[in-house]
Amino acid sequence: MKEKYHFIAIGGIGMSGLAKYLLENGYEVSGSDICDSKYIDKLRDLGAKVYIGHDEKNLPDNCIVVASSAIKENNPEMQKARQLGLTVYHRSDVLAKLSEMGKFFIGYSGTHGKTTTSGLCAYVLEKAGLKPSYVVGGILPDIGTNAHSQDGKFFCAELDESDGTIVKYTPNTVVVNNLEADHLDFYKNGLDSIIETFNKFLANLNPNSNILLNTDCSGVKKLDCKKFISYGLKDADYTARNIVYAEDYTTYDVYYKGIFLTDIKICLKGQHNVYNSLAVLASLHVSGVDIDLIKPHFMTFTGMGRRFEKICEFNKISVYDDYAHHPTEIKATLSCAESFKDRNIIAVFQPHRYTRFANLWEDFKKSFGNVNRLIVTDVYAASEKPIENINSERFAREMSAEYIPGSIKEVAQKLYPTLKPGDIVIGLGAGTITNLGKELLSKECSVA
């Protein structure tokens, strides 16, 4: 008989993907969360029993309990699991187990771009008819899911480094897209701690594994890795050349060891997406995939959810949502806005975590050069306690920006009357800022 799994906080994008994958493989799955969501609805359709609210009575008998780093020991379901002596897995343990089910495992890692690269990999393999299995951190465009178990050769996944658990994975092919100081609540020595973790991760891999490194990134260059395959925009094994940035697409030529390999066209904006798409092409090429099979599908990939995602448009005002919550990610996202000629760019920034805001304060101040107007909301704490003198009001004052306190609904209420036809609104952050487009549209509908 297969094990039973119970997920605490099953409705998140990462946890729901793992639960879906287990359900598709015949496992019994239950879980709980504080509120319903579209992800939970899909799990229920597959047979999961999901409770709203955390309660020790939710735990089935003899189950394996799955939790993320966000779940604390005082959670009633966690307390009951400990009391009963149940096996408790971190979500990374489940992903590691799924990756060992006999597939060729391709993993995407780095400070930025994991969701886009892993999602693009799954997408092009799916569209090419290669029936990949995958667990990624966002919803695939056109396909409408974040996880799927199929009978093809490949399994691809996003490998999270935020809590050090990346060392548990042993992919056959791995991409390290970039490395910067982040997750400073965990990595106390910043980039040095991250480098140490990645060195341990790479050293644990099978000697025959393909390690692809973005050697344009100064952080990646600090890795102690002797055998690797490089990619980048210059002096690399896989190189993107002759890049053309147009309003609706980007094109470039791919050279492998100095010889033309293929040309690529993507509809994603920004130089960071050249790196992302090049990483996927290179990783699939070294993994034995026929480039001609996947090449046409790079252009039809419109991006993962919450990655410069157009949420709504009204009165010639466009509203975008982006998960960017690190200075480098914000710069990359706002560089995409450069293609909007003669449009008024309004960035609405919700700082995510007090520790990140405090440690990267000066870097955040340098991230909004491409906007005409900056609005700063209250910090999304993500369960952290406030840090003295680290707040949005002070940041806005130092940036000569606008500070709008309160909920995102209240932010939208104050922002809406000031918008004009032609404005581009971009919500930035990993928290409740994702609701900005919905709230603005609600205001428009109520006026109409």
Catalytic residue ranges: 114-115, 158
Q: Which two tokens stand for residue 435?
A: 């609701």
Count the Cβ atoms, other than its own, within 10 Å of residue 402: 16
CA distance 268 to 238: 20
Count the Cβ atoms, other than its own, within 10 Å of residue 432: 17
Q: What is the b/e burial string over 30-55, where b = at least 16 CB atoms within 10 angstroms of the residue's CB?
A: bbbbeeebebbebbeeeebebbeebe
DSSP 139: P
Burial of 176 (0-12, 13-18, 19+ CB in 10 A): buried
Which segments within 227-316 are labelled E, that is strand? 229-232, 238-245, 250-256, 259-266, 309-314
Q: Which two tokens stand for residue 115?
A: 């969701």
Count the Cβ atoms, other than its own, within 10 Å of residue 131: 14
Q: What is the b/e burial string over 68-91, where b = at least 16 CB atoms within 10 angstroms of the residue's CB?
A: beebeeebbbbebbeeeebebbbb
Count the Cβ atoms, other than its own, within 10 Å of residue 336: 22
Phi, psi of 274 (to 5 degrees): -65, -45
